[in-house]
Structure 1
Amino acid sequence: MFTLLNEVQALWRARALVWVLTRRELAARHTGTAAGVLWPYLQPLLTVAAYYLVFDVVFSMRLGEGAPSHNVGTFLIVGALPWMAFCDAISRGMNSLIEAGGLLQKNPLPPVLFTTRAVLASALIYGPLLAMVALAYAPLHRFALPLLAGMPLLLLLQLLICLLLGYLLAVLAAALRDTVQLVGFLLSVGIYLSPILFPLSLFPENWRWVLWFNPMTALVQGYQQILLQGVWPPASVWWVTLAWMVLSAALLSVAVKRSRDQLVDWL
């Protein structure tokens, strides 16, 4: 883990540069668009608004017993928005080193800066949107303590997992470009292997263990417990999330250590 500690120290020393790079990354996302800075926020916001309009207003669809909410649209929003945030952060983090290859070949900058820039830029878009959703659900639970304290903690854990996995996949993508196609496929099907489109209780009990291979399963459960029911998530949410963080950190430490002398050549 000393390798990761060195990466964190390099990140801290260059924190001012990271902030400048993150702002430029955000600006690049809406350059040339009529909506300007609002466009990155409008896309996911319109998507979740469509869920509510179609499933709750137009069709008035309802979930059965055992679901954390009976309104389908309300249920989908709580899981789909964090999933969109995860996919965006992982995809951009994974491609960050490849996109910065020319710059890294000319300047001895720590590669972790560019992955962090991509993930933080994504967090600055989806973080406020998730906070808005939390504020919309808060009156339903009278601003209960689990919502006020648990929601920021879940957001922080998701950010850390995205940073770890994004950097790990960025190194793997630099070594083997097939990583990009493989992870893109996994992200496209991952929503079906998580309790986002359906409650966990509707998944066959003998196959529920498969869902835990998705790093967002525990976090989505946490969001559902807090936003839909106003209660603290069960211990399994925290333990599984912590396990994913430890596993990601261990793999990342090995990948960074073994790729240190070859990474720039791969790019």
Structure 2
Amino acid sequence: MISHLRSAWRYRNFILSAIKGELKGRFAASKIGTLWFVLHPLAMATIYAVVLSKVLGAKLGGVSGDSAYSIYLMAGIAAWTVFLEITNRCLTVFIEYGNTLKKISFPRIALPIIVLGSVLVTHALLLVAIAVVFVFFQHYPSIHWIALPVGTLVIALLAFGLGILLGVMNVFARDIGQVMSVVFQLWFWLTPIVYTRDILPDSMQTLIRLNPVTPLVEFYQDILLYSRWPDFASLLYPASLGAALVLASLLVFRRASAELVDAL
């Protein structure tokens, strides 16, 4: 692990330049650029507010207002999106940059780090956009928002470890990517994002508690919807699992690194 960190540090300028290049490339073909980060959550919130809150009458206990359910959904989706994007991008990053790995000599661990940096920047922009949307709902950001980076870092740790592990496996067994697309769909519905945990039967409660993304989603919901300090102790489980996954993935990555380019 230390050797990977040293390699990443030596190539820090390359990594930073690559992150900037990826972000510029993402917005280069768009005429309104980063404004999409405001329009997307605004459109999503409007759809949920009309379809779910109005038509289906979705309500949240202890929270008043027609926009409460939309805010609840946006909070959960914001946490899930950063987890899913980091994991999915790391899952395919070695295959996506296979030609680059064959032509240019640089630490291979730099690729998932570039992905991580890019996703975290776009997530920060998304949170800014969500704050703007909340103003339209007359639900103003509170002092509790300063705790959000803690939850984001734990999400990044968990997703980064899982993503690298799956990314290495995907190089040698391409079916991994197809299988995980189904797993992530199931995983989404086993996370209290579109529903609250208390509506589930007792038989499902254990499964929901074992889901490491559950406390991370609830961390965001506590801050963004309820404007209260989240339960920091609840992050111990996903943080411990994330640290274990990072160590395991770096060990697997180190052993498979010599054969990685050949497999591509």
Range of TM-score over shorter length: 0.7 to 0.9
Q: For each residue in 1:158-182, what CA deviation from the matched residue of structure 2 results, as whole angstroms up to 9, or x when unmatched? A: 2232322222221111121111111
Which stretch of structure 1 is more off in the superposition, 34-43 or 230-239? Answer: 34-43
Contact 1:115 1:170 in 2 (8 A): no
Contact 1:169 1:179 in 2 (8 A): yes
Q: Are 2:198 and 1:201 aligned?
A: yes
- 1:171 maps to which of 163, 168, 173: 168
Query: What is the match of residue 180 of structure 1?
Result: 177
CA-CA distance at 1:263 after TM superposition: 1.3
What is the letter of the counterpart of residue 82 of structure 1? A
CA-CA distance at 1:97 after TM superposition: 0.8
CA-CA distance at 1:134 after TM superposition: 5.2
Residue segments in structure 1 that go unaligned for 5+ positions in a row: none
Instruction: Work out the CA distance in 1 between the residues paired with 2:96 and 2:102.
Output: 12
The residue correspondences of 1:105-254 to structure 2 (distance < 5 A) are 105-133=102-130, 136=134, 143-144=142-143, 147-234=144-231, 236-254=233-251
Instruction: Work out the CA distance in 2 between the residues paired with 1:77 and 1:51.
Output: 9
What is the letter of the counterpart of residue 143 of structure 1? S
CA-CA distance at 1:69 after TM superposition: 9.0
Which stretch of structure 1 is more off in the superposition, 205-214 or 20-29? Answer: 205-214
Q: 1:141 to 1:230 in 2, by over 3 A?
A: farther
CA-CA distance at 1:133 after TM superposition: 3.0
Instruction: Work out the CA distance in 2 between the residues paired with 1:217 and 1:200.
Output: 9
Query: What is the match of residue 258 of structure 2?
Result: 261
Query: What is the match of residue 23 of structure 1?
Result: 20
Q: TM-score scaled to structure 2, two decimals?
A: 0.85
Contact 1:93 1:167 in 2 (8 A): yes
Contact 1:41 1:126 in 2 (8 A): no
What is the letter of the counterpart of residue 18 of structure 1? I
Contact 2:91 2:164 in 1 (8 A): yes
Identity score, percent: 23
Q: For each residue in 1:80-127, what CA deviation from the matched residue of structure 2 results, as whole angstroms up to 9, or x when unmatched? A: 122122222221121111111111112221111111212222221122
How many residue pairs match? The answer is 261
Which stretch of structure 1 is more off in the superposition, 83-92 or 192-201? Answer: 83-92
Q: For each residue in 1:175-206, what CA deviation from the matched residue of structure 2 results, as whole angstroms up to 9, or x when unmatched? A: 21111111111122221010101111112222
What is the letter of the counterpart of residue 27 of structure 2? H
Q: For each residue in 1:181-237, what CA deviation from the matched residue of structure 2 results, as whole angstroms up to 9, or x when unmatched? A: 111111222210101011111122222222245432110011112222233333552
Q: Are 2:12 and 1:6 aligned?
A: no
Secondary structure (helix, strand or coil) at the match of 2:258 reads coil
Aligned residues: CA RMSD: 2.9
Instruction: Work out the CA distance in 1 between the residues paired with 2:198 and 2:115.
Output: 35
CA-CA distance at 1:262 after TM superposition: 1.0
Residue segments in structure 2 that go unaligned for 5+ positions in a row: none
Instruction: Work out the CA distance in 1 between the residues paired with 2:145 and 2:30.
Output: 35
Instruction: Work out the CA distance in 2 between the residues paired with 1:66 and 1:142.
Output: 18
Q: For each residue in 1:10-58, what CA deviation from the matched residue of structure 2 results, as whole angstroms up to 9, or x when unmatched? A: 22221111111112222332343443444466445532442234334x4
Secondary structure (helix, strand or coil) at the match of 1:230 reads coil
Q: 1:165 to 1:60 in 2, by over 3 A?
A: same
Contact 1:7 1:112 in 2 (8 A): yes
Query: What is the match of residue 62 of structure 1?
Result: 58
Instruction: Work out the CA distance in 1 between the residues paired with 2:171 and 2:64.
Output: 41
